[in-house]
Chains A and B, each alone.
Chain A
Amino acid sequence: MGIISRGFGGRRRESVPGLPPGQYLTHDFPVLSAGPTPRIPLDRWRFTITTETGEKTSWNWAEFQALPAEDVTVDIHCVTKWSKLGTTWRGVSLDTLLENVESAADYTMVHSFGGYTTNVPMEDLLDGKAWVAYKFDGEDLQPEHGGPARLVVPHLYFWKSAKWVNGLQLMPEDEPGFWEAAGYHMYGDPWHEQRYQGD
């Protein structure tokens, strides 16, 4: 028997409204990580959007903090089967970040400090569906949860909500990120249980 959890023990599904198939409810906030937690000083933090033609739009921490922020309450669903309902975040909408970016790209690759990547279609980042969040539950986002800032794209499994985010590469074609290349689903819709490739 290996140490990889099969859904962390395959707990019984609870019939809770808002809980996608195969998920169980948790009230704490599990920390999952594929590597060391990067500690990013705010004076070295930068978020850069790079278009398919190489044009860059970039914000340092002070510029990013000056952007209009939103408070959102969303449910989050981890592919390891825990879900946490009603989480509160403060961050900048991707609609705001992409507002003045000229691009025809249909796909994006999210990049993080530490080298993590994950792919998200452009349409899943727009129309109030995604944020770069820097506060959780009213407090500064802690490094183990992705601080200073992480992507929050709650309608997809939470591995798409990259921690320690530092950029977005806009792409004409879809490409796998870190977990997608390792066997996880390219899209990751929790309501359709798109956990692994081929699901």
Chain B
Amino acid sequence: MDGTPLDGNAMAGDLREIFAVDVTAARYLCAGCTHTDAVGTLLLWHQSPGLVARCPNCEDVVITVVRAPDRVFLDLRGSVRLEVPLEGS
């Protein structure tokens, strides 16, 4: 088995617990290659100790989510910025 990745939309539930908006609709800017697209288009490696979302253009890690029983660690260092559309605007 080679652990086929999902797409970033599969992070929606975990991110919804942290943010008040749907972050999968936000645009990331990859720190590795400056590729930009919706978070939902990232390649998501989920058969691992956390979620690892990689840029589909350069495969660098853009977002990781590690879930402890009482905490969630969100690492965004692979994303220069997130552009989050606001609902109702």
Docked Cα-Cα span, A53 to B52, in Å, equals 33
Complex formed: what's the CA distance from A85 to B46 in Å?
25
A interface residues, tally (CB under 8 Å): 26
* Binary per-residue interface labels of chain B (25-64) against chain A in the complex, 1 for a CB within 8 Å, 0 otherwise: 0000000000000000000011111111010000101001
Contact A179 to B50, CB < 8 A, known contacts A33-B3, A37-B2, A144-B2:
yes
- A32 interface residue (CB < 8 Å to B): yes
Complex-state Cα separation, A179 to B6, whole angstroms: 20
Contact of B51 among A1, A3, A36, A144 (CB under 8 A): A3
Residues on the B chain within 8 Å of A178, using CB: 61
Query: For the side of the interface on B, what is the size category?
Result: 20 to 34
B49 and A36 within 8 A (CB)? no
Q: Is the interface of B mostly helix, strand, loop or mixed?
A: mixed
On chain B, the residues within 8 Å of A33 by CB distance are 2-3, 45, 47-48
Interface of A: prevailing SS: loop
Q: Hey, which chain A residues are within 8 Å of B45, CB to CB?
A: 33-35
Chain B residues whose C-beta falls within 8 Å of the C-beta of A6 in the assembled complex: 67, 69
A184 to B64, CA, bound (A): 12
| A179-B49 Cα distance, complex, nearest whole Å | 8
Cβ of A36: which chain B residues have Cβ within 8 Å of it? 59
Q: Which of A41-82 contact B (CB under 8 A)?
A: 78-80
Which A residue's beta carbon lies closest to that of B67? A4
Specify the chain A residue showing the minimal Cβ separation from B75. A182
B66 within 8 A of A: yes
- Other A-B pairs, 12, CB within 8 Å; known A3-B10, A4-B65, A31-B1: A2-B11, A3-B11, A6-B67, A32-B3, A32-B48, A33-B3, A35-B59, A79-B49, A179-B49, A182-B75, A183-B66, A195-B68
Could you jot down 26 A-B contacts, CB within 8 Å? A1-B13, A2-B14, A4-B46, A4-B66, A6-B67, A31-B47, A33-B3, A33-B45, A34-B48, A35-B45, A35-B54, A35-B61, A36-B59, A144-B2, A179-B49, A181-B75, A182-B50, A182-B66, A183-B68, A184-B49, A184-B50, A195-B68, A196-B66, A196-B68, A196-B71, A197-B73
Task: Show the binding face of A for B, using Cβ within 8 Å.
Answer: 1-4, 6, 31-37, 78-80, 144, 159, 178-179, 181-184, 195-197
Report which B residues bind A (CB closer than 8 A): 1-3, 6, 10-11, 13-17, 45-52, 54, 59, 61, 64-69, 71, 73, 75, 77
